[in-house]
Amino acid sequence: MIYITRRECFNAAHKLFRPDWSEAENLERFGKCANPNWHGHNYVLFVTVKGEIDPKTGYCANLKDLSSLIRTCVIDQLDHKNLNLDVAFMKDKMTSTEVVAIEIWKQLEGPVAGLGCKMHCVKLVETENNYVEYYG
């Protein structure tokens, strides 16, 4: 068993707020992240898959295929978008790094199985000071 990781980036706007809370309540719980007019990040996504090595190619997974799959299923939906408004798979969800990481996992789990390997980890870096890891 070997683990292979692909890094992809996306730049997006978001805010953390609940429409069922007052603006004051949102600011109290989410601080600056509740700014009504949004803020944004250069998100860095690390997708780790695991599997056996194909003795013919030496590959666990073809990185070009893995990259294409991540771009189609995830990056194209998120890059230069508003995570709260523009993304079908984030509809009616909080856009915390935790929730975004889990939803990215859900987008990738099936397609990655089609490459002959299994999802191991989604790591989502929001700033140089914080990131989330989800293992399913």
Q: Indicate which single residue of 22, 23, 31, 68 sits in contact with its own copies (rule: CB under 8 A).
A: 31
Q: Indicate which single residue of 69, 95, 107, 108 sits in contact with its own copies (rule: CB under 8 A).
A: 95
Q: How many residues does the chain have?
A: 136
Please, which residue, 73 or 84, has the CB nearer to its own copies? 84
Q: Indicate which single residue of 16, 69, 73, 74 sits in contact with its own copies (rule: CB under 8 A).
A: 16
* Closest listed residue to residue 18, CA positions, set 100, 86, 102, 84: 84
Per the rule left: phi > 0, alpha: psi between -120 and 50, beta: everything else, 49 is: beta
Binding mask 38-57 for its own copies (x = CB under 8 A): xxxxx-----x----x--xx
Please, which residue, 9 or 113, has the CB nearer to its own copies? 9
Question: C-alpha distances in angstroms, 87 versus 13, 19, 96?
Answer: 11, 18, 14
